[in-house]
Amino acid sequence: MSKGADIELIHVTKRYGAALAVDAVSLKIPAGTYCCLLGPSGCGKTTTLRMIAGHESITEGDVRLGPTVVTDLPPARRGTAMMFQSYALFPHLDIVDNVAFSLKMKGEEKASRRAKAMEMLKLVQLDHLAERRPAQLSGGQQQRVALARALITDPQALLLDEPLSALDPFLKIKVRQELKKLQLQLGISFIHVTHSQEEAMALSDLVVVMNGGRIEQAATPREVFNRPATAFVARFMGDHNVLAGRVTDVADDAVTFEVPGGASFRAPAGPGLEPGAPVEIAVRTDRVRLGAGAMAGCGLTGLVQNIEYHGQKVQVALAAPGVDEFSVQVSETAFFEAPLAVGDAVPIAWTPQDVHILEASPSA
């Protein structure tokens, strides 16, 4: 059982003068969820997080935590806690006093607040460094102090703004695992802002992909990866080819569509797919077959532009008529059974089941 509360955003909008930073965003984050707000720079994810925390006023709409509308409450009275990107530790205080600071502000007496701070430091495995100052800790350790300091207020949700961005790649993965473990242990929601799709996929129960102040898709990592709602999501998550074409034929269970270069493909039928309708599709780069392994019928031939060796996989970039960029991921074994070179012309194919039809973007 989770002790946290559901968080709900109801048509939340933020304007800075004439600029619309967040545009009528509605989202429900069930209690006990690891949620990542994911998107490119400027998409409104930090502003959304800050509005949940109460560090930014809400122009229109409401934020609810459990049964309480917290829209007009100050940060300390919302039941949320925020961990800042910079960690914002006090350099002149030792680690215990840094963690205990918010309890001091509430007037809690010294022995009791230091005891609670030590408990929090144990939780993040830093109790052995309690007497040190922030400057005497590594980046990863400072980050754990910041975590302990946010958690000491016993929040119903923890808000994290790019918590891993200052760490080196090795530490990033280690701390990421610790964050996930801590969230499961505490049972409260963590809402984590990141521009890294890899980070969001690794951590989340719920990935919220934002673009231009709006939500493009909010779903599990698997759903977002396998069934990206829009071309933006497919491109942002990566490992997908996005093709634009036009429907040429509609049967009961399948449609045929054509890309500008003349190649035509079949895909599962769907609503709104009338003859002549423009359509955008996504095909995972690891579902495409090349060369002798490619089935007949697609009629697309690609010219190899670039080959990158990635260890387990080899990434082949191709150009084809009517298709600007096309990327295929081949297993190392398959690639070296029939190696390709830059300049080779090679048949490309995939099955209709691997074609995913995309919707129009809400921010388009």
Ligand X SMILES: Nc1ncnc2c1ncn2[C@@H]1O[C@H](COP(=O)(O)OP(=O)(O)OP(=O)(O)O)[C@@H](O)[C@H]1O
Minimum CB distance to ligand X, residue 203 (Å):
17
16 binds ligand X (CB under 6 A): yes
Q: Which helix (H) or strand (E) holds 320?
A: strand 313-320
43-62 positions binding ligand X, by CB under 6 A: 43-47
Q: CA-to-CA distance for 74 and 113, rounded, in angstroms? A: 22
Q: Which stretch binds ligand X (CB under 6 A): 15-23, 86-94, 112-120, 226-234?
A: 15-23
Beta-strand pair 206-211/189-194: unpaired
Least CB distance to ligand X at residue 150 (A): 19
Minimum CB–partner distance for residue 177 and ligand X (Å): 23
3-state class of 62 per DSSP? Answer: strand
Among 42, 187, 238, 297, which residue interacts with ligand X (rule: CB under 6 A)? Answer: 42
Q: How far is the CB of 72 from ligand X (least distance, A)?
A: 19
Nearer to ligand X, 21 or 117 (CB): 21
- How many CB atoms are closer than 10 A to CB 35? 25
Per-residue contact string for residues 295-334; x = within reach of ligand X by CB under 6 A: ----------------------------------------
Q: Does residue 18 touch ligand X according to CB under 6 A?
A: no
Q: How far is the CB of 20 from ligand X (least distance, A)?
A: 8
The answer to whether 61 and 69 have CB atoms below 8 angstroms apart is no
Please choose, from the candidates 235, 157, 226, 172, the residue with its C-alpha nearest in 3D space to the C-alpha of residue 202.
172
Return the structure tokens found at 133: 């100052």
CB 328 within 8 A of CB 287: no
User: Could you say whether residue 282 binds ligand X (CB under 6 A)?
Assistant: no
For residue 7, what is the DSSP state?
A: E
Residues 192-211, mask of contacts with ligand X (x by CB under 6 A): ---x----------------
Task: Please answer whether residues 299 and 347 qualify as being in contact, where contact means their C-beta atoms are separated by less than 8 angstroms.
Answer: no
Backbone angles phi, psi at 313, to 5 degrees: -125, 155
Spatial separation of the C-alpha atoms in residues 5 and 148, rounded to whole Å: 20
Task: Give the residue with the Cβ less far from ligand X, 204 or 285.
Answer: 204
- CB nearer to ligand X: pick between 87 and 265: 87
Count of all residues that appear for the chain in the document: 364
Residues lying near ligand X in the complex (CB under 6 A): 16, 19, 21, 39, 41-47, 195
